[in-house]
Structure 1
Amino acid sequence: MIPVTTAVRRVPCEACPLRANPYFRDFTAEELKFVSTFKRGELVADAGSMILAEGTHSAQLFTLLSGWAFRYKTLEDGRRQILNFLLPGDLVGLQGSIIGEMEHSVESLSPVVLCVFQRDSLATLFEGYPSLAFDVTWMASREERMLDENLLSLGRRNAMERAAYLIAFLYQRAEKAGMTRKPVIPITQQHVADTLGLSIVHTNKTLR
């Protein structure tokens, strides 16, 4: 079982390392107080842990505090399509919080720490904190834009172009998350294949 800390908060919201990132806006004192109350603890998981499973309901919403994860869907025969990669600052489980059931799964690529929030407090955020509500909407819109580019790659780019785009995309995302001091992208050729819609053999030849 994945351990989760709820009684003791290891990283208080006011000391969150993501606040130093210039790509994130500063909270007002009132917003920071609400988010600190909204947060219920932290979930710590090893690489390869399933954070959320397709078809399940979760009472929790997460933000990724550190590490890498990815969203994916699986066909009945076990074939997997990676939809997107998650980096620090990303929301995890918003779809399940709005729709009620997860339409995809989330797995950690590296050891991760996630901030845990109660889903039933999301309505309070939208009703009482319009700037935070805008932030959530903006993040959902950004996710849609990334999926547009990924779909374009799958539909119109050749294998070499897909691979080049993916590497550049992941590096740029890591840079914005402040993770390029040690630019290690923890993906295997299987992850690349499942993202690009290629066989592992074709992926190996493409990356050589």
Structure 2
Amino acid sequence: MVVDCKTCPLRKAEIFDEMTEEEIQFMGTFKVGETKLDKGAQILMEGARSPQLFTVLRGMGLRYKVLPNGRRHVVNFILPGDFLGLQSGVMGEMKHSAEATTTMTLCVFNRSDLWTMYRQQPQRAYDLTWLASVEEHFLGEALASVGQMDAIQRICWGLVRFFDRCDGLGLVSDEACAFPYRQQDLADAVGLSLVHTNKTLQKLRDRQVLSWQDGTLRFLEMDVARQLAMMEEDSAETRPLI
């Protein structure tokens, strides 16, 4: 059954801002349905003009860009609550691709209704602008990590950041969360070769900083991981849920 916006389970996560009754009612009309995807399914394709926008209700995926020589760079990992397709909605076509890493359920919105949001719900439209700004900030951090950090620092930065996002979504238990990705996906995200990524993960396991086994990421020494990643623990900033 399609999830009603009034009873959306994502709204219970502490990471998301509270919504007014008016906003909930509008989102109920903005949402046109849901789609379920199998593992490996394409969500959005670079260069495509998708007629739909999506919010991830369940599951995980990744955004990536393929270079002309066939090499791939993972832009970021997709988690529940992420809004997908804004590039297509504003720029006319996608500038990167997105695919499902696990089975996923997506809330579906018509791209043609996006401007209705700007006219009727300016606060919701501002939320979209805020999300785009946060994405820009993240890409700046990612570029700095690739350009200025060594392999151990990069991998710690990427995994700690992913863990913190999962924590805000209530997906962490006993310092562990699901990480259903391949080592190649992590390598493509932090700009390392697969061999270098494998050796670096082994060093972190040997130092008892973290473990990644059978799709589960566990931090054994989170304080050490944060120091290596040059990240401080701070209260997570709440974000809008579209």
**Deviation for aligned residue 1:25:** 2.0
3-state SS of paired residue (1:183): strand
- Assess if the C-alpha contact under 8 Å between 2:56 and 2:107 holds in 1: yes
The equivalent of 1:88 in structure 2 is: 80
Give the counterpart of 2:94 among 102, 106, 114.
Answer: 102
The equivalent of 1:197 in structure 2 is: 191
**Rounded Cα–Cα distance in structure 2 between residues aligned with 1:26 and 1:199:** 42
3-state SS of paired residue (2:177): coil
Count of aligned positions: 200
The equivalent of 2:34 in structure 1 is: 42
3-state SS of paired residue (2:192): coil
Give the counterpart of 1:153 among 145, 156, 174.
Answer: 145
Q: Mapping of 1:1-208 within 5 angstroms?
A: 10-181=2-173, 183-208=177-202
Normalised to the residue count of structure 1, the TM-score between the two structures is 0.92
Moved runs in structure 1, 4+ residues, more than 3 A?
Answer: none
- Assess if the C-alpha contact under 8 Å between 2:51 and 2:112 holds in 1: yes
**Rounded Cα–Cα distance in structure 2 between residues aligned with 1:170 and 1:24:** 16
The letter of the residue matching 1:61 is L
Normalised to the residue count of structure 2, the TM-score between the two structures is 0.80
The letter of the residue matching 1:105 is S
What percent of counterpart residues are identical? 46
Please tell me the root mean square deviation across aligned C-alpha atoms, in Å.
1.2
**Deviation for aligned residue 1:139:** 1.1
3-state SS of paired residue (1:73): strand
**Rounded Cα–Cα distance in structure 1 between residues aligned with 2:130 and 2:136:** 10
For structure 1, which runs of at least 5 residues remain unmatched after alignment?
Answer: 1-8
The letter of the residue matching 1:77 is N
**Deviation for aligned residue 1:86:** 1.4
For structure 2, which runs of at least 5 residues remain unmatched after alignment?
Answer: 203-242
**Rounded Cα–Cα distance in structure 1 between residues aligned with 2:196 and 2:146:** 14
- Assess if the C-alpha contact under 8 Å between 2:37 and 2:100 holds in 1: yes
Tell me which moved more, 181-190 or 43-52: 181-190
- Assess if the C-alpha contact under 8 Å between 2:62 and 2:77 holds in 1: yes
